[in-house]
Structure 1
Amino acid sequence: MLTILDTHLLNATSRHDLRGWQRFALEFLYFGIKNARACLFVALFFASVLLVPRSGLLGLPRYDVLLLAAIAIQGWMLWARLETLDELKAVCLFHLIGFALEAFKVSGSIQSWSYPDFAYTKLFGVPLFSGFMYAAVGSYIVQAWRLFELRIRHHPPYWMAVLIALLIYANFFTHHYIGDYRWYLAAAALGLYARTTVIFRPLDRDRQMPLLLSFVLIGFFIWLAENISTFWGVWRYPNQLGAWSAVHVSKWSSWSLLVVMTFTIVAHLKHIKARIHVPD
C-alpha cells in the first residue's frame, strides 16, 4: 500500500491545465500528504506514546513498551525498504546523540527535566526509548528528502556547516556553565545559510523556499509534539511537576537549532550529498 502511494507521489502526472487557486489548492494538498508520509515514523511512534497506558502493558512498564514499539517500527521500515541501511545508520547516530544529551540533562547536577516513571530499560535515569524522539527528526528529514525530491542550492562549505553544528550541540551542554550562546549561534547560522535555498516538488513543478525557514518550521512542529508528550506525562520539566503548563516558547529556538545539526548529518549521506550544490 505504501509502495503504491510513494509511486504515485513521486510520479505525479503533469498538470499544465491547472491555474490560480486550483493549482495552489492541489499543490498544498500534495504538500500536506507528502509531509504526512514523511512523518511515518513520527506518527507511529507518537501514536504509541498516546495509546500506551501509563501503567504499561502486559506487566511491562510504559517506557519499556515504547522502546519495543520504536524498535519494531524502525525494523519494519527497514524490512519494507522504506529506509536504506545507510539511512538507518544516520538515524542510529541521532539516537546516540539524543541519548547523550538526555543523560546529561536529567543528571542530578542539571535536572532540566525528568522521566518520573519506572522502567527496566533506564540508563543514567533516561529510558532508552528517548533517543528515538531525536531519531524521529532524522527519519523525517530522510523521508522528506526522497518524497519531495529535495535539492539544495548555495549550501555553505561542509566544514563550516559541521563546525556550527558541533557548536550548537556543545552549547546544549556548556550553557549550564559558561552561559547560553544560543542566539549568537543562531545569528551565525543565519549568516551561514542566508543564501541557501531548498528546491522541492510538491506536485509536478519545482518550488523553492529559504532553507532557514524550513529549519524554523520543523522546530515549531517538534515544539508542538513536545507539548503533547509532556501533557501525557512522558517526561516533565520542573515547572510541570505540580500541574501541566505549556512548554516555554524559547524551546522552539532550541529545537530549530537542533534541526540545523540534524540536517548537517543527513546532508553527508552519499545519495543526498549528490543533490547539494556548494559554490566554489
Structure 2
Amino acid sequence: MAPTPGLRDFAIEFFHFVQKEASACLFAGLFFASVLLVPRSGVLGLPRYDALLVIALAIQAGLVWSGRETFDELKAIGLFHVLGFALEVFKTSSGIQSWSYPDAAYTKVFGVPLFSGFMYAAVGSYIIQAWRLLDLRIEHHPPYWMAGLIATAIYLNFFTHHFIGDYRWYLAAGAIGLYARSQIVFRPLRRDRRMPLALGLVLVGFFIWLAENIGTFFGLWAYPHQLGAWAAVHVTKWSAWSLLVLMSFTIVTNLKHIKATVHVPS
C-alpha cells in the first residue's frame, strides 16, 4: 500500500531535518571522528592531545575559510573555548580532581590540554550552524538581561558547588520557568515545525552526554570511577550538559544577526 501524502511529506521533512542536523554537527563529528582514529600513542611522534589540537584548529580554520562560519561567529566560539577551558582547569585542579587528562602532551596548560576547550566550542558551533541551516526562530524569548543572569549563575555554580552546595536543580527549575513559553521554530524543508525550547536544550544535552561516554571510553579523559576500568558517565552529567547548552545558547542569541530572529515580548 502506498504511503499517504501526509506520511510521505512528514518522512521527507524528517529526512531533511536529520540531514541538516548532521551538517550542523560538522565540527563535532569531525572532531570526534579524530578521537576515534588518532591512536593513544600519537601520530608521527606527536602526542595524541597535541595531534587533536592541530586537527581541531584545522577544522575551525576550514569552517571559516569555507564561509560556513563568520568572524563574528568565530568570536563567540572562541568565548566558548575560553569559558570551557577555564572550567576544565578548575575541575582538574589538585583541590577538586573531578576528572583528569592522564596522557602527556606539549600543549598542556595547568594540566589541561588546550584541545579540551574545543569540546565546548563544538557545542557553540553546532547551535550556530543549526540556526542557519534550519532557519531557526525563537518565540517568546525572555528578556536578555534575565537570560544572561540565569546563564551566568549556571556557569558560576559549576565552580561554587564545591564550596557552598550544588544549586543546579534550583537553577534548572528557574530556567524552565523563565523559558516556559519559549518555542523553537525551525524549517527542515517547506513547513515550519516547532518544539519547546527547554526540550530542545535537554535533547542536545543528552547527545553530548553520549559523546562524553565515547570520549571517556577511548581514554581521552577519565573520571575517578573510571581509573580502574571504564564505566558509563553518570546520568546526572546529562543535566549538567543541558545547563551548559543553555549557557551556550544564551551567548549565541546575543550575536547581532541572530538577534533579528529572536522574539522578546515587550
TM range (shorter): over 0.9
Q: Secondary structure at the match of 2:105?
A: coil
Give the partner amino acid of 1:60: L
**Residue in 2 that maps onto 1:190:** 176
How many pairs does the alignment contain? 263
| Aligned-pair CA distance for 1:25 | 1.1
Whether 1:224 and 2:210 are equivalent positions in the alignment is: yes
Aligned to 2:50: 64
The equivalent residue for 2:191 is 205
What is residue 93 of structure 1 aligned with on the other side?
A: 79
Query: 1:115, 1:19 → 2: CA distance?
Result: 53
| 1:62-107 Cα distance to aligned partner (Å, 9 max, x none) | 0000000000000011111110000000000000000000000000
Unaligned runs of 5+ in 1: 1-17
Q: Could you give the per-residue CA deviations for residues 126-184 of structure 1, whole angstroms, max 9, x where no partner exists?
A: 00000000000000000000000000000000000000000000000000000000000
| Counterpart for residue 214 of structure 1 | 200
1:183 and 1:23 map into 2 onto residues whose CA distance is 40
What TM-score do you get using the length of structure 1 for normalisation? 0.93
Question: Are residue 262 (structure 1) and residue 248 (structure 2) matched?
Answer: yes
In structure 2, what is the Cα distance between the partners aligned to 1:247 and 1:152? 32
The alignment partner of 1:209 has SS state of: strand
Q: Shift of the alpha carbon at 1:19?
A: 2.7
Instruction: Give the alignment's Cα RMSD to 1 decimal.
Output: 0.7
Aligned partner of 2:221 among 229, 235, 249: 235
Taking every aligned residue pair, what percent have the same amino acid on both sides?
Answer: 72
1:128 aligns with 2:114: yes
Q: Where does structure 1 differ by over 6 angstroms across 4 or more consecutive aligned residues?
A: none
The one of 8, 14, 18 equivalent to 1:28 is 14
Instruction: Quote the Cα distance in structure 2 between the aligned partners of 1:200 and 1:19.
Output: 21
Q: Which runs of 5+ in 2 are unaligned?
A: none
CA distance in 2 between counterparts of 1:95 and 1:224 reads 20
CA displacement at 1:23 relative to structure 2: 1.3
Q: Letter of the aligned partner of 2:58 in structure 1?
A: A
Q: What secondary structure, in the 3-state scheme, does the structure 2 residue paired with 1:37 have?
A: helix
Asked if 1:180 corresponds to 2:158, the answer is no
Partners of 1:268 and 1:142 lie apart in 2 by 11
**d(CA) in 1 for partners of 2:62 and 2:244?**
26
Q: What is the letter of the counterpart of residue 254 of structure 1? A: A
Deviations 1:208-254, CA, capped at 9 Å, x for gaps:
11000000000000000000000000000000000000000000000
In 1: Cα distance, 2:102 partner to 2:87 partner: 17
TM-score w.r.t. length of structure 2: 0.98
Paired with 1:36 and 1:142, the residues of 2 have a C-alpha distance of: 13
Residue 20 (structure 1) shift: 1.9
Counterpart in 2 of 1:54?
40
Give 1:203 deviation, angstroms.
1.2
Give distance in 2, aligned partners of 1:73 and 1:207. 31
**Separation in structure 1 between the aligned mates of residue 67 and residue 60 of structure 2, nearest angstrom:** 11
Could you tell me which residue of structure 2 aligns to residue 8 of structure 1? Answer: none
In the other structure, the counterpart of 2:127 is 141
Q: Residues of 2 paired with 1:77 and 1:148: CA distance?
A: 18
1:248 aligns with 2:241: no
Secondary structure of 2:214's match? helix
